[in-house]
Amino acid sequence: MRTRATALLIITLILTTLAAGTALAATPQDIYNDYADDGVLQGTYTNDELQAYLDDATIHQYGDDAVLGPLDALVKSMLAQPSEGRGTFPFTGMELIVVLIGAVVLFGGGIALRRTAR
């Protein structure tokens, strides 16, 4: 029973770590709200997030035309520029930390499972 609980805990930690990046992505509604607030995009958005905004039919159907026109033009101009010109977020090493934590969890879990199996 203890071995199953340990394995379940390790699997849960791994799946939670893998799903964390999706939860942090900006939605098309976030981009719309950011611009509708004061007429300026203050967030840092990836090209994929900006393209998802342009492809979102719901926002373009129900959004305010006074906001959508200028925002669409701004997003299209941002996508036309190289991403370096938009002030991208610099490399912080966070990716390395996530990989290191994953490796430690997997390695430690393997050792724990091996010891409990003996």
Total-model pTM: 0.54
Give tens-digit pLDDT for 4-49. 888 888 888 887 777 666 566 788 999 999 999 999 998 888 888 9
Q: Encoding tokens for residue 30? A: 């976030």
* pLDDT tens, position by position, 58-99: 999 999 999 999 999 999 998 888 655 555 555 666 677 788
- Domains of the chain: which residue ranges? 2-117
What contacts 51, CB < 8 A, 6 or more positions away? 79
pLDDT at position 2, please? 78
The conformational region for residue 56 under phi > 0 = left, psi -120 to 50 = alpha, else beta, is beta
